[in-house]
Amino acid sequence: MSTFKTQDGTSIYYKDWGTGKPILFSHGWPLDADMWDSQLNFLAERGYRVIAFDRRGFGRSEQPWTGNDYDTFASDINGLIEHLDLHDITLVGFSMGGGDVARYIGNYGTDRVSALVLLGAVTPIFGKTADHPEGVDESVFDGIRDGLRKDRAQFISDFATPFYGLNKGQTVSEGVLTQTLNIALLASLKSTIDCVTAFQTSDFRGDLAKVDVPTLIIHGTADQVVPFEATGALSAKIITHSQLKTYENGPHGFAATHQDQLNSDLLAFIKTVY
């Protein structure tokens, strides 16, 4: 397997397919790099180099007890970029991975970055605060943490319904549901729980204010996990000259339910960058 060591010695797994301008993908919770296989294969076949990694604590990466915070995640991304000596990168982040790539820009700038894509991202701020009352209430995150501690397998199995919008008319195969559960159960329970707190409490408004590269924001209008009006709609207002696309009635997991549309939209955007 392809791996590299982070600053604190954690081994991180990554995929590196194809040749050409690099596109680096950061996955959502509680998944790993395999969620991107359709996008990776599609873009690699069209002349791009695609890289996707398993976040620390998830998939095939090591499971440290600490470091499940966004500054560390951004440091891990920086380590991968330096390990592969990547330049002119398009950064793509889905859900909590949108926070990873935003914090990377906030902490390390855009010298190596040509473009940014935020897909159903938790940016600019996910949880409810005094100055973000439209955010998700703390009780929701408490319920997630409690559900994971009590019966993670059943919680993740049930979570697939709102994630993919199965209760709102969307469909995915039994294979996708099986893969989702299998991927989630590879992760450290500690990291899975800690990440809930990380994306609940992190504020990315300062990070987004530093974005000075072309940006594509895609969000489902029927996202039951990361509500569009409290996240994606606000990110588009903060990032000047960003392009916002909404998938009508799209759920959070639109990388699966709207696979072909997403692949096409990514390719079209990337062609404008390169």
Nearest to 51 by CA among 96, 97, 9: 97
Kindly report the CA angle at 4 between 203 and 71, in degrees rounded to 5?
A: 15
pLDDT digits (tens, 9 = 90+) for 110-122: 999 999 999 999 9
Of the chain, the percentage scoring pLDDT greater than 90 comes to: 99
pLDDT digits (tens, 9 = 90+) for 207-217: 999 999 999 99
Catalytic pick among 54, 76, 219, 252: 252
Catalytic pick among 75, 95, 191, 242: 95
How confident is the prediction for the chain on average, in pLDDT?
98
Task: Name 113's bridge partners.
Answer: 89
The CATH number of the domain covering residues in 3-273: 3.40.50.1820
Name the residue with tokens 């919008």.
Answer: 165
The confidence score (pLDDT) of residue 1 equals 81
Tokens coding 148: 């994971």
The confidence score (pLDDT) of residue 236 equals 98
Give me the residue spans of the domains in the chain: 3-273
pTM more than 0.95: yes
The CA distance from 32 to 23, in Å, is 16
Q: Which residues make Cβ contacts (< 8 Å) with residue 230, sequence separation at least 6?
A: 126, 132, 134, 135, 136
Average of per-residue pLDDT across 156-163: 98
Q: Strand locations in the chain, DSSP E?
A: 3-5, 11-17, 22-26, 49-53, 89-94, 113-119, 215-220, 243-247
Average of per-residue pLDDT across 66-88: 98
Catalytic pick among 223, 235, 258, 265: 223
The confidence score (pLDDT) of residue 241 equals 86
Known catalytic membership, residue 87: no
Known catalytic membership, residue 54: no
- The answer, yes or no, to whether residue 83 has pLDDT greater than 90, is yes
Task: Name 244's bridge partners.
Answer: 217
Known catalytic membership, residue 100: no
The confidence score (pLDDT) of residue 153 equals 98
